[in-house]
Structure 1
Amino acid sequence: MPDRVRTSGTPTVSVVINTLDRATELAQTLRALRRIRYAGEFEVVVVNGPSTDGTAALLEEWGEDLVLGSVDVRNLSVSRNAGIRLAAGEIVAFLDDDAIPEPEWLTELVAAYDSPAVGAAGGFVLDHTGHAFQYTYGSVDRFGVAETHLEAPCPERCYPASWKIPHLMGTNASYRRTALEEIGGYDEFYEYFLDESDVQVRLADAGYLIAQTSRARVHHHFAPSHVRNAARVPRDRYPILKNKLYFALRHANDFVSIDEILRMFHAYVDHHREDVRWQVEHGNLVEADRARLEADAQRATEDGLRGALSTTGPAPTDVSRHRDELRAFDTLSRQDPRCFVLVSQEFPPESFGGIGTYTRDLASGLAAAGHDVHVLTRSADFDRVDWDDGVWVHRLVVADEERPADAGSVPAHIWAWSRACLAEVARIDDVTPVDLVEAPLWDAQGIALVRDGRWPVVVALQTSLAVWLESHESLATDEEWMAGFGRPVLAAEKEVLERSAAVRGISRAIVETVAALHGLDLGGRSQVTALGVGAPRLLDAERHVARVEREAGRVNVLFVGRLEERKAPDVLLRAFAKAWEREPSLALHVVGDDTIVWPAHGTTLRQWYETELGDDPSARAVRFLGSVSEHQLALAYGNSDVFVAPSRYESFGLVFVEAMMRGLPVVGTDVGGVPEVVRDGVDGLLVPADDVDALADALVRLGQDAALRSRFGANGADHYAAEFTAEAMADRTERFYDHVLTARAPLR
């Protein structure tokens, strides 16, 4: 064995991605690599197989950022060897084209090369849920039988001629490049399956150590491919069977007889027969796949025997012709990255109310600044972690349960959600230390976190239950409801406010209102950081037919919000009837959940309207659109002329920002935080709350004056660009978080 040289503390690394017909997944993987934090330099090598989708165009967009290669066969080993020859790094790290590495992935991988004897290193692989492990510590024997969830690494098994060795999964495996050159790269007889195992057995037989680390983690989305369908069932089992026999004959022949190898192989074929039968019965394969398996098994047996028992054996591949100069990959590097966790029960695309919308934009902005950002939100199906362009979105299933003893008086469903968030923050912290958690005051979502006390918790102060009850007198005076829910939640709100590290108010009005209602002096722990909205996402107009349509001579008025008392849609409908009588060009489109029952009269707003005003001539100009998709909401904004939201109270009024961003003049009420967002007579018109006549006058004025609509709309768009972009919100919030974490008083 030649002399082996220890790598430097930060050796250069070539990250090799072998891709085939996965342009969408590959784009995500490449964007994730921008967020890698590594003290040394690394490059990204992409070897494209005979792809027929948009992979070539995607790689052209990335241009000089990548080292590009290609192969014209569907053979992963051929593609891997091409990647090795293109690699200039001392370490070659392989990453699948449907995998997302965590930011510290390379740092943790390289740390395992602490001895010149280490020839390979790999880490853990999370499955498509991001919650369960597809692979942890593993081993493989000379029959190619793998164990994937050992309790600990097994370096004691790594020596020449060991029957069982430590094993790394191919989507998270790295190698010392000189070691790969020494053993002759990948055996190209393996088009896929056991290709990685073969390399690792040969490395062990050459005297190298294979290191396993729990902290170098990738998330494997396990996308469909030409070898498996969407149900993750193999389509073509010929390579699997052929390579199983070939592998055993190549590596077990000196340990057991050929008869024993063949008995193992025939049992393995029987296992596949049973699996195909089951998959056919459950609709994942079709009946013709049974006959195909038998033909594949016959051909695999012949080809596996022929390949393994040939007199010459496989010729080592020359992978020594590597590039000399590394092409460093640019990352979103910063000196002081933090790990922030944002809690929000609602989050797009499942729900995109005010809290969900701004949480998405805040998370994206903080991630764009180079921080690790995790969002905790609810899931309707199963626990999973999605990676969305820089943000880790943890979707959690939380079942209602009996209130445990540690909840105190907190309602069971509120405590269950907060406890689930506490457990998930702890899980994140185990890998990446969490610096700060933010949670909305609504539903006291941070209650378990502030009681736990391990991390500083910032309370995001929007509308609270205390504020909400001001406009819901029927519930505020319902003693049974208040005793069972209202007062316990009010107490939880106050506890969260008192025990949090800081309070982030979205307007001066909401800070002052909540402090007064709870009898608190928030003092220097609070700061106002106005919200912002990200630029509208591009839509494929051909796939979405607008439900709000333009018509010559018509002025479309749009309302967006919850159809509840606080939003005052009842006032709007009465005002619109009066306005339409004076200006029949007006048309009102009402977007929001129209199934909410109003306690005051026991019906939905829509039912109330049909009873009270359904026979009014203006009714033909009113449309209830109900809850709509994000795409439909964007189209509704785009096809409207005036935006209106006559709330009885708004802590901020994010919908006004969304409207101004799109150049719409706005009509609102001079309550809460609205005057801090909308400049009366500049961006739109503000009227007193519950004033039907004043609201009707504002609608008529804008409906009749196109020039005024245009001026207000342009002013609002400028106001948005100057104050309310997502980038501005993220910058304000980042500076506030920094003050919280450095124990300085927040800027006022």
Structure 2
Amino acid sequence: MSDPDISVVICVYTEDRWEDILAAVASVRTQSYPALETLLVVDHNPVLLDRLTKEYKEVQEVRVFANAGPRGLSAGRNTGIAAARGEVIAFLDDDAVAERDWLRHFASGYADPRVMAVGGRTMPIWASGRRPAWFPEEFDWVVGCTYKGIPSGLVRVRNVLGGNASFRRSAFDAAGGFATGIGRDGDKRPLGCEETELCIRLSRARPDAVLLIDDRAVIHHRVPEAREHFGYFRTRAYAEGLSKALVARSVGADKGLESERRYATRVLPAGVVRGLRDAALSRPGGAGRAGAIVAGVLTAAGGYVVGTVRARRGGATFAVADIEGERDG
């Protein structure tokens, strides 16, 4: 099977990340496996749209678009999917840089025609220079990174993680696009899980589909100082609970919480034990990590309960994009 052409979509929304955006694009342009194109999708920010259009007007392989849907990350990704020309579409966060062989490892996963998605490993770059002593690796998803508990190597998974992921175009033809109303919306509450919902929907539409994570496909994700504090940790955990409730409403609790049950019953208790052991041995941060895990679980559970009640009352809605329809339109 021939190597696939890969389009890379980077969704952006604020000029505050200007240097990060340039670094993200540069990391794609220097890949050992060249991208067919890089698509920058600007989320309802005319000033940023104009600035990026001027920045890359002489760069043929970089194209700049305005988000054609409602404000938010899901609609931005759907805009990129509709415009992309590659057989495979990869997604990179606007505040991350990819290692040189990132796309090469993605491409190798698609040698098997059953593979519909390949994700990678996302490593944090802490603004303070190192991980806060109290911050548990089990909760690195809070800052958009690969967390302790995800299997290492090349492994089959229920879902990939959206900031470092790729899909065959045919995956979107089969399942539709990212659901709006689940994921992030600029600087509002940091919701997520839109890629989880899509991957479960994809597996239902294509029961033979294989979804992989290859931890050799590495990106480095910037964690700003504001996200190193417990206040953000708690806010993000609560938002994750709200998001999981939406996913469960869409695809059912059995599939929507399948991986989370193992995480909550095995990975997190082991993390608490490690933290308490470190505290008993007078190692820095042990008690803080154990406490953060417990607080994170309780906060996410609270968000899930609230989200479930809201969903039952009809207060939460989302829509799945018809990518083929958007492309034709």
Taking structure 2 as the reference length, the TM-score comes to: 0.66
Q: Given the alignment of the two structures, is residue 109 of structure 1 paired with residue 125 of structure 2, yes or no?
A: no
How far 1:86 moved relative to its partner? Answer: 1.1
Alignment of structure 1 residues 230-309 onto 2, 5 Å: 231=229, 233=232, 239-253=239-253, 300-306=307-313
- What's the secondary structure of 2:223's corresponding residue? coil
Q: Which has more helix, going by share of residues?
A: 2
Deviation at 1:11, TM superposition (A): 1.3
Q: Residue 57 of structure 2 aligns to which amino acid in structure 1?
A: G
Q: Deviations over 1:543-573 (max 9, x none)?
A: xxxxxxxxxxxxxxxxxxxxxxxxxxxxxxx
Q: Check 1:153–1:73 CA distance in 2 against 1; reply closer, same or farther (3 A cut).
A: same
1:31 aligns with 2:26: yes
The aligned counterpart of 1:50 is 44
Greater relative contact order, per chain length (Cα 8 Å cut-off, separation 6+): 2
Please name the residue that 1:409 is paired with: none
Partner deviation per Cα, 1:194-247 (whole Å, 9 max, x = no partner): 1111112222232210122122111111347xxx75648155777534322121
Q: Give the greater-gyration-radius structure (CA).
A: 1
- How far did residue 151 of structure 1 move? 4.0
What does 1:711-722 align with in structure 2 at a 5 Å threshold? none
- Does structure 1 retain, via aligned residues, the 8 Å contact 2:10–2:91? yes
Q: Which residue does the alignment assign to 1:222?
A: 223
Asked if the contact 2:35/2:103 (under 8 Å) is kept, the reply is: no
Q: Quick one: distance in 1 between partners of 2:55 and 2:313?
A: 44
In the alignment, what sits opposite 1:612?
A: none
C-alpha separation in 1, matches of 2:169 and 2:315: 26
In the alignment, does 2:4 pair up with 1:11?
A: yes
Conservation of the 8 A alpha-carbon contact between 2:121 and 2:215: yes
Residue in structure 2 matched with residue 124 of structure 1 by the alignment: 121
Alpha carbons of structure 1 residues 55 and 154: separation in structure 2 relative to 1, 3 Å: same
Cα contact 1:126–1:135 (8 A) shared by 2: no
Counterparts of 2:5 and 2:137 in 1: how far apart (Å)?
A: 26
* Higher mean displacement: 81-90 or 187-196: 187-196
AA matched with 1:305: R
Distance in 1, matches of 2:78 and 2:110, equals 22
Matches within 5 A, 1:137-156: 148-155=149-156
**DSSP-derived class of the 1:127 partner:** strand
1:174 aligns with 2:166: yes
TM-superposed CA distance for 1:92, in Å, is 0.4
Aligned to 1:81: 78
Closer, same or farther: CA 315–297 of 1 in aligned 2, 3 Å: closer
CA deviations on 1:451-502 (whole Å, 9 max, x unpaired) are xxxxxxxxxxxxxxxxxxxxxxxxxxxxxxxxxxxxxxxxxxxxxxxxxxxx
Kindly tell me: are residues 322 and 189 of structure 1, through their superposed partners in 2, closer, same or farther at Cα, counting changes over 3 Å?
closer
- 1:204 alignment partner in structure 2: 203
Unaligned runs of 5+ in 2: 142-146, 185-191, 265-287, 293-299
Deviation of 1:50 after TM superposition, in Å, equals: 2.8
Q: Which residue of 1 aligns with 2:280?
A: none
C-alpha displacement of 1:9: 2.5
Give 1:60 deviation, angstroms.
Answer: 2.1
Do the aligned partners of 1:125 and 1:135 also contact (CA within 8 Å) in 2?
no
Q: How does 1:448-459 map to 2 (within 5 A)?
A: none
Paired residues, number = 260
CA contact (8 A) 1:43 1:67 kept: yes
Pairs within 5 Å for 1:508-523 = none
1:54 and 1:47 map into 2 onto residues whose CA distance is: 10
Q: C-alpha separation between the residues in 1 aligned to 2:305 and 2:18?
A: 35
Alpha-carbon distance in structure 1 between the residues aligned to 2:306 and 2:173:
32
TM-score normalized with structure 1 length: 0.31
Q: Which structure 2 residues correspond to residues 397-436 of structure 1 after superposition, within 5 A? A: none
**1:50–1:209 CA distance, 2 compared to 1 (3 A):** same
8 Å CA contact retained: 1:92, 1:177: yes
CA drift of 1:16 comes to: 0.3
SS in 2 for 1:50: coil
Which residue of the partner structure matches residue 94 of structure 1? 91
* Superposed displacement of residue 59, structure 1: 3.7
The letter of the residue matching 2:18 is A
Question: How far apart are the structure 2 equivalents of 1:241 and 1:250?
Answer: 14
Percent of paired sites with the same residue: 26
Deviations 1:312-366 (A, max 9, x none): xx65421125779xxxxxxxxxxxxxxxxxxxxxxxxxxxxxxxxxxxxxxxxxx
Q: What is the CA distance between 1:171 and its match in structure 2?
A: 1.6
Do the aligned partners of 1:108 and 1:216 also contact (CA within 8 Å) in 2? yes
| Residues 177, 323 of structure 2: 8 Å contact kept | yes
Give the residue type in structure 2 aligned to 1:29. A
SS of the residue corresponding to residue 88 of structure 1 reads coil
Letter of the 2:56 counterpart:
W
